[in-house]
Amino acid sequence: MPGMPGSRRHLACWLVVALAAAPAGATSEERLGYRWQLDGFLGAIAGLFVPSGGEGELTRERLPDGNWKSELLITSSEAEGGEYFRYGAELDAADLSTVRAWQSSLWKGEERSKEAKVEQPGVVDIVSGIQLLRRNPPEAPRPMEIWSDGRLYPVEVVPHGRTTKKIGGREVAVRHLVVSGVEQPGRRFWKGGLELWLADDPAATPVEILVSRSGARVRLELLAPPPLALAPAPARPEPLGVPAAAGAASPYLAADGERLLATWIEPAGAAGRRVRFSAWDGRSWSAPATVAEGADLLANWADTPGVVAAGDGSLLAWYLVRSAGDPHSYDTRLARSTDGGARFAPLGPLNDDAVAAEHGFVSAVAEGSGARFFYLDGRATVGGGATQLRTARVEGDRIGATEPVDESVCDCCPTAAAPLPDGGALVA
């Protein structure tokens, strides 16, 4: 920085990445404007004699051979002789490794320039180091080595969580990374420091850069917030207005890719009750369709109808029907739609015991081209036994035989099922 002794070599350090290789290179050209200032005690003292702030620019552009060129230019409108400092690198297009590094400056009428071809694999300069961390920000502490003034120092880059920065009067969500020296036996300790605040946007735009050396710190702040990196507004729930009739109850909601599937029970006049279905496509609900209708439909706030998307794209809905002659007994019945939920055809009972007992609390997941159902089965309770957790597979129009999963479970708790990556399911 202007007027800071040795600053030309302090900022022109090289980083040697010890563990993590850089991912694919940058994808677009860019030109970012900054305002810099000195802070810290020594920075304040230096500011009494030299410019304590000015303008900065971080650029990235494609070279004719396909590689990238990135530069950090630091100037000051307060400087009388057009002083500047420039740090740059040529980056390999494949992995962002440094091909060449250079630095140049004009200070007090003296112009200096230095350029080096980087032979050692994995070496990056300060600019390509910034670009590397943008493309591969660590989620856990990462050991590195920094090469400065011809010496290697062990350092560590540590994620310091996420916060927000106010840029151009607007809050920007950022990721904070800190690079600092670490103590190792027989090794020199690096007294410098580098901090980055990377925007939470696809480019990981550096909205703030802080370089520390011998008590003085150079802080560069982005002039304008990246358009895709504004701090997210707090989520506000909005009603979707499910097309249910007055008096509707027993709602159920499931996801099918980008769609939402909903079922509920509503009054049906002289017919008693009906189970209805509708799908939300991100813009509107589909016209409600009737899954089943009748005076024997059971409406329960805890044990509700529901729907699942089978592997073949059909929809399988379930609902509860009272058993004849026993108000406390009911069966679970299934219906299937092959047109996205416009029409449902009955399949029959899920439970295959024909015992007047409770059969409900259903959960289901897609399995292969069909679906796997789980439910609580009370067939054994008639003889004094326990409620069972049973399962059955539905393929097309065929309901498979049920089999026990657990022969003694709680009789009043809903079940829940989730698909596993290997094609199985986890049920609770």
Tens digits of per-residue pLDDT, 98-125? 888 887 877 667 787 888 777 777 666 7
Q: 285 and 191 in one domain?
A: no
Residues 150-185 have pLDDT tens digits of 566 778 889 999 999 988 888 889 999 998 889 999
Q: How confident is the model at residue 53 (pLDDT cuts 50, 70, 90)?
A: confident
Per-residue confidence at 24, pLDDT binned at 50, 70, 90?
A: very low
State residue 34's pLDDT score: 92
Write out the residue range of the structural domain in which residue 399 sits: 249-427
Examine the fold and report which residue of 222, 241, 275 is the final residue of a domain before the chain moves on: 222
- The secondary structure of residue 382, as a DSSP letter, is G
Residue 167 within a domain: yes
Does some domain include residue 36?
yes
pLDDT band at 63 (very low <50, low <70, confident <90, very high): very high
Give the amino acid at 290.
T
**Both 214 and 309 in a single domain?**
no
Are 93 and 133 within one domain? Answer: yes
- Residue 239, in any domain of the structure: no
- Per-residue pLDDT at 328 exceeds 90: no
Q: Evaluate whether residue 272 is within a structural domain.
A: yes
Strands 289-294 and 193-199: unpaired
pLDDT at 332 over 70: yes
Do residues 266 and 212 share a domain?
no
Q: Look up tokens 């769609």; give the residue.
A: 259
Reported confidence tier of residue 46, pLDDT bands at 50, 70, 90 = very low
* Mean pLDDT rounded to a whole number for the chain: 84
Give the pLDDT of residue 17.
37
Say yes or no: 22 and 76 in one domain.
Answer: yes
Task: In whole angstroms, give the CA distance from residue 175 to residue 417.
Answer: 36
Q: Are 45 and 143 found together in one domain? A: yes
Look at 4 and 404; give whichever has higher pLDDT. 404
Tell me: pLDDT of 28 over 90: no
How many CB atoms sit inside 10 A of residue 293's CB?
14
Read off the pLDDT band of 411 (50, 70, 90).
confident
Query: What is the rounded end-to-end Cα distance, in angstroms, of the chain?
Result: 63
Residue 141 to residues 95, 113, 247, 304, 353, Cα–Cα distance (Å): 21, 35, 56, 48, 59
**Average of pLDDT values for 210-227?**
80
Q: What CATH number did the domain enclosing 340 receive?
A: 2.120.10.10
The answer on 170 and 69 residing in a single domain is yes
- The answer, yes or no, to whether residue 44 has pLDDT greater than 80, is no
Residue 182 lies in a domain: yes
Contact 327, 343 (CB under 8 A): no
Four-point Cα dihedral 22, 74, 87, 17, nearest 10: -30
In a domain, 235, yes or no: no
Report if residue 236 sits inside a domain. Answer: no
Q: Is 70 exceeded by the pLDDT of residue 317?
A: yes
Can you give the length of the chain in residues? 428
At 265, the pLDDT band (50, 70, 90 cuts) reads very high
Is there a single domain that holds both residue 185 and residue 306? no
Q: Are residues 81 and 217 in the same domain?
A: yes
Give the whole-number percent of the chain exceeding pLDDT 70.
Answer: 84
Domain boundary among 222, 238, 260: 222
Q: Is residue 94 part of a domain?
A: yes
> What sign results for the dihedral spanned by CA atoms 77, 80, 81, 87?
negative
Looking at the structure, tell me whether residues 216 and 316 fall in a common domain: no
In a shared domain, residues 199 and 264? no
Q: Residue 218: is its pLDDT beyond 60?
A: yes
* Tally of domains within the chain: 2
Same domain as 174, residue 271: no
Spacing of C-alpha 310 from chain mean position: 27
